[in-house]
Structure 1
Amino acid sequence: MSDIKTLIIVAVSRNGVIGRDGDMPWRLSTDLKRFKALSMGKPLVMGRKTFESVGSKPLPGRPHVIVSRTATLHMPGVETAATVEEGLRRARALAGETGVDAICVVGGGEIYRQTLALADELHVTHVETDLDGDTHFPDIDPEMFELVEEMSIPAGEKDNYATRYAIYRRRTGR
C-alpha cells in the first residue's frame, strides 16, 4: 500500500490563515471546483471541526475518515478514527479497496500539523491577501518540499481574492 500517496489540500492566506470561527475566511468558487476535481473518488481525512464546517455531511463521491477523540458519527460514507495515524491507515485501506492512488488530507489546522511530515504532495491555494483568523497552516519547509508547479489565478466572479495554485512535492530522501 506504500504506493498510495498522501496529498494535503489547503487554501492559505499570505499570513498563514486557513480558518476563522469554524469557517474559511473567504469565498473561492474557482478553488472549490479545483478541490472537487482533485479529490473526487479519493478518501478524505479531516478533523471533526472541519467536517462540521462543511455541513456535517459527506461530500459526494469521496469516502470520509473523520478524526475525533470523542465523536462517533454514524452515516453512510463516514468513518471515524481516534487518531490521525489510525485515520491515515483507514483512508489508505479505503484507497486500496477502491483502486485510487492517493488519499487527501483536507484539514483542519491540527490535522495538517500532524500530517505535514507524512505528506507526499501539498496542493496549496495561496490566497493573495492577509487575513485575521484563528486557525493557521504550518510553514512549508523548502528543505522538505520542492515547488514543482505554480499558476496564478485571477479572482473569478464568485471569488473574494486572486489566488496562486502551487504543488509542492516531497524532496527525495526526506
Structure 2
Amino acid sequence: MSQSPATPTYRFTQPIVGMIWAQTNTGVIGADGGMPWHLPEDMAHFTRVTKGHPVVMGRKTWESFPDKFRPLPDRTNIVVTRQQGWGSTPEASGAVVLDSLEEALVEAQFSPGGNEVWVIGGGQVYEQAKEHCNVAVITVINTDARGDTQAPGLSSEWTFRGATPLEGWHTAKNGTEYRFTLWAKGETEFQAE
C-alpha cells in the first residue's frame, strides 16, 4: 500500500477522444444519480486529466453536479440531450447543448484544448461513445458497493497499457483503496510524465 500518490500524467502524442470514470471492482459507476463512494483523490485526478480540455456528458451527469461546480471550470462543457428546449433553461447555463453525441464530439474537437476530448458520463453516453474513443482512464476502487449504473464493457480491441500502482493499491486519506488504470484502442501512443 502507498500513501498520497502523485496523480499520473500522460502526454498523448496524437489527438485522442477518451473516456474517464471511476468504478468498483464489479464495474459499478453510479447509484441513484451519484457515486456510491467518497474519494477526493479521484476527483483531483479527474480534474488534472480533464482540465484545459473539452468534456462531453449527458444531461443527467450535468444535473448531478452541484450548482457551484457547473460548468466545470477551465473546460468547455458540452451536454448531449434529446430533451427539446432544455438548452434554453437556466439549468443549462454555461453548457454547450447539442442533441447528438456525434455533434458533441465535432464541437469538442474545435473547442480550446480539443486535441484531447474527454467523455465523462453517464452510462448511456459511454456506451454510445466507446466506438469513437481510443483511450479509457479508469479509476478502480477496491469495493463491491452496489449501484444502478455499470461501466461500459471494453471489447478485445482495447488493451491494458498500465496502472498506478502496477500492483496493489493506493490508500486514500479515508482508507479507501484505489488504482488508476489506462486502456487504449489501436495504436494510440502516449508518454508517461
Give the Cα–Cα distance (whole angstroms) in 2 for the partners of residues 126 and 148 of structure 1.
Answer: 14
> What SS is found at the alignment partner of 2:110?
helix
Tell me the equivalent position of 1:4.
Answer: 15
Which runs of 5 or more residues in structure 2 are unaligned?
1-13, 189-193
Q: Structure 2 matches for 1:120-135, cutoff 5 A?
A: 120-135=134-149
- Give 5+ residue unaligned stretches, structure 1: none
Find the counterpart in structure 2 of residue 15 from structure 1: 26
Deviations 1:122-172 (A, max 9, x none): 00001111121111112222x21111111134221146x211211011123
Query: Partner amino acid for 1:93?
Result: F
Residue type matched to 1:28 in 2?
L
Counterpart CA distance in 1 for 2:125 and 2:102 is: 10
Q: Tell me whether 1:79 sits opposite 2:96 in the alignment.
A: yes
Identity among equivalent pairs (%): 30
TM-score by length of 2: 0.80
Question: Could you say what secondary structure the match of 1:65 adopts?
Answer: strand
Task: Give the alignment of 1:59-70 within 5 angstroms.
Answer: 59-70=72-83
TM-score by length of 1: 0.88
Is residue 45–residue 104 contact of structure 1 (8 Å, CA) maintained in 2? yes
CA radius of gyration, larger in: 2
CA distance in 2, matches of 1:7, 1:99: 13
Any idea what SS the aligned residue of 1:117 has? coil
**Which amino acid is the alignment partner of residue 149 of structure 2?**
T
Once residues 35 and 136 of structure 1 are traced to their aligned partners in structure 2, the CA distance between those partners, rounded to angstroms, is: 18
- Judge which range, 108-117 or 66-75, deviates more: 66-75
Q: Is residue 30–residue 158 contact of structure 1 (8 Å, CA) maintained in 2?
A: no
Q: Which residue of 2 aligns with 1:119?
A: 133
Task: Summarize deviations over 1:16-56 as a string: whole Å, max 9, x none.
Answer: 11000000111111111111111011000001111111125
1:168 aligns with 2:183: yes
- For 2:6, the equivalent position in structure 1 comes to none
Q: AA paired with 1:123?
A: V
1:118-157 equivalences in 2 (<5 Å): 118-141=132-155, 143-152=156-165, 153-157=169-173
- How far is 1:90 from its partner? 1.0
**Counterparts of 1:52 and 1:75 in 2: how far apart (Å)?**
11
Preserved CA contact (<8 Å) 1:145 1:169: yes
SS at match of 1:165: strand
